[in-house]
Structure 1
Amino acid sequence: MATNDNNNIDVEQRAVAEAHLRNTTVRSISWKGITVTVKDRETKLPKAIVENVEGIVEAGEICALMGPSGCGKTTLLNVLASRPTGAQKVKGGVLVNGGDPSRGTFREISRFVEQEDALIGALTVRETLHFASRLASTSSLPRRERVARIDGLLDSFGLRDQADALIGTPIRKGISGGQKRRVGVASQLITSPKILFLDEPTSGLDSVASWEVVNYLKGVAKRNNLIVIASIHQPSTSTFNLFDKLLLLSAGKPHYFGPVADVMAHYESLGLQVPLHVNPAEFLLDLVNVDFEAHRGSAVQRLDEMQRAWAGSQRAWDVSAAVADAEAKTSPVELESEVAEKKPSLPSLVLTLLHRSFVKSYRDVVAYGIRLAMYTGLAIMMGTVWVRLEATQTSIIPLTNAIFYGSAFMSFMAVAYCPAFLEDYVQFIKEKRNGLYSATELIVSNFLIGTPYLFLISVVFSVISYWLSNFQPTAKAFFTWVFWLFLDLLAAEGLVVLITSLFPSFVISLALVAFANGLWMSVDGFMVPPTRLNVFYKYVFHYWDYQKYVFENMMINEFSDRVYTCASTGPGPLDCQCMWQTDLADECLIRGQGVLDQYGYKPGYMGKDVGIMMAIIVGYRIAAWVVLKLRK
């Protein structure tokens, strides 16, 4: 009896998980004359890597793109999914319901699963599906229904036992590669697509798991009028037979398009009999792959003959007629109106990303945990090296060095944020291409999640280092120090976000962030006082170097209201040797302003400097937003 109850629950969960896909307005996706041209590396002349491909897949069908490596499968899939291809020129058209929908509408109704899908390693499998659902149009569904749909997908993809397991980070082991592939597909299905594109969805899976994934996709497509187009390399016989349609490519040219059940009949009509007990998919791939033929010239000629035979066949004419018929029944307007009503609001998207980033931040030690430990160690080291400096002239230079070290190296260590933001960036690119959110939501949520952590780091570092080093011992001076250190870290992290957005490579971004901080350290006023800095660096870099304002105001905070004793050589007032001559020299004292004068620093400009710092912090974020907005 319990077994029957469990079966009933599974059926109910699956029904809820798929109910949103019914009543879809997408009847078909078709394409004609698709030709992709690139510049040949050797001849530098245009070269077609996909040539005059056409086809149509209707609601409820699952289509395989198959061919040997380098035949143009992934390029064609990217064209169909309206994604960048890096090609010199793309010709032809991709139509939905026979019409040409806007890019925004197409992204809303379609999803793309990468071969190496970007997943956030610090999330569990269930959380991955949960956040994917909240970012999509399904966010408006009641929570209970979303949970039921997630449970249905977990069961269908064999992930129930891994529901609360982490995806996996470089430090914490997670689920297997094959399970990650299934999570990637499930996370796109949860977002209510009408068209699903998959690049090698069975790579990394054994034959049983491959069959299960494709079989589930076929079932969902049939029951809910979903269109599935997947590139696939070498499926087993049972997996191959699950597909409704096949597009066979070789050297970028179509060799067959139509029902899988008819493909053998087509090649038998050309006198090519399929041997008994041979996987038909392997037979077809061997047939159109001439890379390893001993007599390549004759093999290429045979391939050309097969391609011409297909182009002149009745089946090819039927495909052209079906595409033309779909175009004659165009109705894109209903798609536009339906999509416009579903898009989650900007505040809702920001809150979802903020929630996801918060979960990641306290689980993934790379994001802030390691940085907090690193800054704490730096504070202990600084406090014990510059320990209990007295208010004497012999401490003035060490105090100045400590101020530079505390501000500049805190900024420099922001390079540790590069790998954490790179993961966010890769996730953003995937989700932006799928139309889930834009650069605005990423930049806002990234800034909001980082701010409290950076403030915590500033306080922890200051509590340890400030009092150990014996900087000006007043509460006002301490909190002023914390404030400037906080602004320093905000600007440094903004610089990391900007450079990593420009150059999303770990090695390159790390090198450039380190170089930029090295430049700022050189011209911030410590190495060479602003009064001596050469004109080029002073006017080109110094005034928009955020470290300049931090160092200057920390110096003013320490020296403007403090007095230091001079070295005494005898009992009389003339027996003093003061390294800085101020109005207190006859008292064997040095007024701190005398130290500031050699740098040209004067108090009273903190409000202006705070405004400049805020402009730099916001400017970095806006610049990163522009980069991400323009990135294709």
Structure 2
Amino acid sequence: MWPFASRPAKEAIEKRTNLVSYSTDIEDGVVTETHLMNNDVKNFTWKGVTVTVKDSKTGAPKVILDNIDGVVQAGEILALMGPSGCGKTSLLNVLARRDVSVAAKVEGTVLINGNVASTSSFREMTSYVEQEDALIGSLTVMETMYFAARLSHKNTLTKAARIRRISTLIASFGLTNQANNIIGTPIRKGISGGQKRRLSVISQLITAPKILFLDEPTSGLDSTASSEVISFVKNAAKKNNLIVICSIHQPSTTTFQLFDKLLLLSGGRSHYFGSVAGIQDHFNSLNQPLPLHMNPAEFLLDLMNTDFARGHEDAEARLSNIHRGWLNSELAKDLDTQITSAQSNNLPLPDSTSSTRSFFIDVATLVHRSFIKSYRDVVAYGIRIAMYFGLAVMMGTVWLRMDYDQRSIQPVINAIFFGGAFMSFMAVAYVPAFLEDRANFVKERHNGLYGATAFMVSNFIIGLPYQFLISILFSIIAYWLSNFRPTADGFFLWVMWLFLDLVAAESLVVLVSSIFPIFVVALALTAFANGLWMCVDGFMVTPAILNVFYKYVFSYIDYQSYVFKGMMVNQFAESTYTCGSKCECMYVTPLAAECKIAGQGVLDQYDYNTGNTGKWVGILLGIVLGYRMLGTLVLMVKKH
């Protein structure tokens, strides 16, 4: 693990920068590293937290949190526990300054060291670990930590200190043997569920938060893995003076006893706040003794739950008595005293440690991470490349070696439409990969790592080489097999139009998936939009006779229409076709006397003029920019 002597030894090495101090202990070959601020977070308090929403059925005000108080000291880990629907997730979101629900009214005070922290300062001091592991499955454990550290604005660690801290955290959370293992994708097995939860936690600890919020960190884990996760978190809290607030559903006895404090909720009201060790005495005083040989957490949850109680009215009355008993208890009075003392001491907030790293470094880091993800994750681009390869072979063999006789004109037009329209239509395969990236962005944006613009720019950049590769591979097969205009400039113009087509199509996927981040909905709407673009791009109905509504509302913003125009001009502007043995020309052009058709005659039927390539490319780029800007705006506005 570490190249240190195995004999017991203990050293302390102090390294100081202008803002941050590091203390490293070496014992039995294991390194532990503590990150200390000049002014630590000593306490986190909240008083009178009340949340009111509108009832979805009646429209009347509905209280989901009612006058909740609490205080957590540095180094403590608090469990928010209660039956489903008790309000623990809502409380966690209020404390973490996240949206509770649409149009929720939030009242009460939440203070750090007795002060109201600004939004930027609060983000520097806190991190939030989601219930669902929003990890990039194709990265390794070490890479996940590396990029989390690189993206963090919350510390000013040097590169050497950052690498040291990554290794320390990985070792401290028992992931050393998995450091070079990938997290896991749908087609590649990775680390276990418990290891993923630990990684989710340390990927936030690397940003050196002073307050850590955990939403159901043991969800989906067995009792052993659950206690393992909480044990590692508890050790980190003690060693780093970290405040941890954790919502939890039904912990095992071992896991439950690891918490320092418990806030017990039911129906949005407090029924206990205090040490886990003090639970038995308090509930004994209420004539609700904890049974022997029973998980205390399970007993408390049964006590708080009225949904499945046989005697519902008796259960409600019992719960009311427990609530009143809590309000009148010495513990409640002591809590009020602690909160008053903490809020009146008004200790200074920690010094700001935000780095001055530029937007461009954020983008470069995200591009680097996305590059690793893209070449490892065959779902993102590997399957798509194989799909487009198959499409190219199919197209090239169906329209095999079309000759330059007039009977081939319509099939060639059909091939041009198919090549452009279906290439963009197949971009819907990008939906699941983008939704995964978006989920990771939402998590990291909430933790203050980077914004929507950096995410959108990096997403655009990383897609370009793959879109160009797809365009080249598709064209090498389909273009020459179909016998389109056999010149170098004709080939590369075709590649250009196909590339712009894919760029626009993927940008449409990004916009729709940003607005509707649900796989089935995003897939259906993107497919519908592409179907609409096919109908009005000029192939199905020529622009001259297209319905006025569709022409002026949709056709001018249809990126496929400009691709179709460009490909048509590329193929026909300089081509000629023979009129057959009977010299009966389908299109009347100046070459009719020679029993030939000038390709311009075909373009005239569609009212397409030459010399507009630059304008059409500019419009296409404008559409791409519009999609991306709208997508960025959506991500800025949407919170989830």
1:615 and 2:622 are equivalent in the alignment:
yes
Query: Is the CA contact (8 Å cut-off) linking 1:274 and 1:280 kept in structure 2?
Result: yes
Cα distance between partner residues in 1 of 2:179 and 2:30:
20
Equivalences for 1:509-524 in 2 at 5 Å? Answer: 509-524=522-537
Cα distance between partner residues in 2 of 1:113 and 1:303:
31
Match of 1:352, SS state, is helix
1:482 and 2:515 are equivalent in the alignment:
no
Cα distance between partner residues in 2 of 1:54 and 1:154:
35
1:5 maps to which residue?
A: 6
Q: Could you tell me which of 66, 88, 93 is aligned with 2:109?
A: 93
Partner letter of residue 239 of structure 1? Answer: T
Cα distance between partner residues in 2 of 1:288 and 1:584:
90
- In the TM superposition, what is the alpha-carbon distance from 1:214 to its structure 2 partner? 2.0
Segments of structure 2 that go 5 or more residues without pairing to the other structure are 11-23
Q: Could you tell me which of 65, 69, 73 is aligned with 1:58?
A: 73
Query: Is the CA contact (8 Å cut-off) linking 1:117 and 1:184 kept in structure 2?
Result: yes
1:73 and 2:80 are equivalent in the alignment:
no
- In the TM superposition, what is the alpha-carbon distance from 1:553 to its structure 2 partner? 1.0
Cα distance between partner residues in 2 of 1:585 and 1:494:
44
1:296 and 2:309 are equivalent in the alignment:
no
1:587 and 2:599 are equivalent in the alignment:
no
1:243 maps to which residue?
A: 259
Cα distance between partner residues in 2 of 1:138 and 1:367:
31
Query: Is the CA contact (8 Å cut-off) linking 2:32 and 2:172 kept in structure 1?
Result: no
Deviation larger for 490-499 or 6-15: 6-15
Cα distance between partner residues in 2 of 1:138 and 1:25:
14
1:573 maps to which residue?
A: none
Query: Is the CA contact (8 Å cut-off) linking 1:111 and 1:195 kept in structure 2?
Result: yes
1:175 maps to which residue?
A: 191
Q: Could you tell me which of 604, 607, 610 is aligned with 2:611?
A: 604
- In the TM superposition, what is the alpha-carbon distance from 1:205 to its structure 2 partner? 3.1
1:444 and 2:457 are equivalent in the alignment:
yes
Query: Is the CA contact (8 Å cut-off) linking 2:121 and 2:352 kept in structure 1?
Result: no
TM-score by length of 1: 0.94
1:399 and 2:412 are equivalent in the alignment:
yes
Measured against aligned partners, the alpha-carbon deviations of 1:447-475 in whole angstroms (never above 9, x if no partner) come to 11001110111111111111111111111
Equivalences for 1:306-317 in 2 at 5 Å? Answer: 306-317=322-333
Cα distance between partner residues in 1 of 2:511 and 2:48:
40
Query: Is the CA contact (8 Å cut-off) linking 1:562 and 1:592 kept in structure 2?
Result: yes
Partner letter of residue 599 of structure 2? Answer: G
Partner letter of residue 584 of structure 1? Answer: L
Structure having the larger proportion of residues in helix: 1
Cα distance between partner residues in 1 of 2:598 and 2:33:
76
Q: Superposition RMSD on alpha carbons, in Å?
A: 2.1
1:338 and 2:352 are equivalent in the alignment:
yes
Match of 2:212, SS state, is strand
2:241 maps to which residue?
A: 225
Q: Could you tell me which of 364, 367, 386 is aligned with 1:351?
A: 364
Distance 1:16 1:98, change over 3 A: farther
Distance 1:245 1:388, change over 3 A: same
1:629 and 2:607 are equivalent in the alignment:
no
Q: Could you tell me which of 102, 112, 119 is aligned with 2:135?
A: 119
2:429 maps to which residue?
A: 416
Distance 1:246 1:522, change over 3 A: same
Distance 1:206 1:152, change over 3 A: farther
Cα distance between partner residues in 1 of 2:575 and 2:62:
74
Deviation larger for 145-154 or 92-101: 145-154
Cα distance between partner residues in 2 of 1:294 and 1:267:
22
Cα distance between partner residues in 2 of 1:210 and 1:582:
79
- In the TM superposition, what is the alpha-carbon distance from 1:490 to its structure 2 partner? 0.6
Query: Is the CA contact (8 Å cut-off) linking 2:194 and 2:229 kept in structure 1?
Result: no
Match of 2:534, SS state, is helix
Partner letter of residue 440 of structure 2? Answer: Q
Match of 1:18, SS state, is strand
Partner letter of residue 631 of structure 1? Answer: K
Cα distance between partner residues in 2 of 1:413 and 1:578:
37
Match of 1:53, SS state, is strand
Segments of structure 1 that go 5 or more residues without pairing to the other structure are 570-575
TM-score by length of 2: 0.93
2:118 maps to which residue?
A: 102
Q: Could you tell me which of 185, 204, 214 is aligned with 1:188?
A: 204
**Percent pairwise identity:** 60
1:369 and 2:382 are equivalent in the alignment:
yes
Query: Is the CA contact (8 Å cut-off) linking 1:21 and 1:226 kept in structure 2?
Result: no
Cα distance between partner residues in 2 of 1:446 and 1:108:
25
Distance 1:484 1:34, change over 3 A: same
Match of 2:145, SS state, is helix
Match of 2:263, SS state, is strand
Equivalences for 1:489-568 in 2 at 5 Å? Answer: 489-568=502-581
Match of 1:85, SS state, is coil
- In the TM superposition, what is the alpha-carbon distance from 1:16 to its structure 2 partner? 6.6
- In the TM superposition, what is the alpha-carbon distance from 1:624 to its structure 2 partner? 0.3
Measured against aligned partners, the alpha-carbon deviations of 1:291-315 in whole angstroms (never above 9, x if no partner) come to 3322110111111011012112232
- In the TM superposition, what is the alpha-carbon distance from 1:152 to its structure 2 partner? 2.2
Partner letter of residue 552 of structure 2? Answer: Y
Query: Is the CA contact (8 Å cut-off) linking 2:54 and 2:62 kept in structure 1?
Result: yes
Cα distance between partner residues in 1 of 2:584 and 2:515:
54
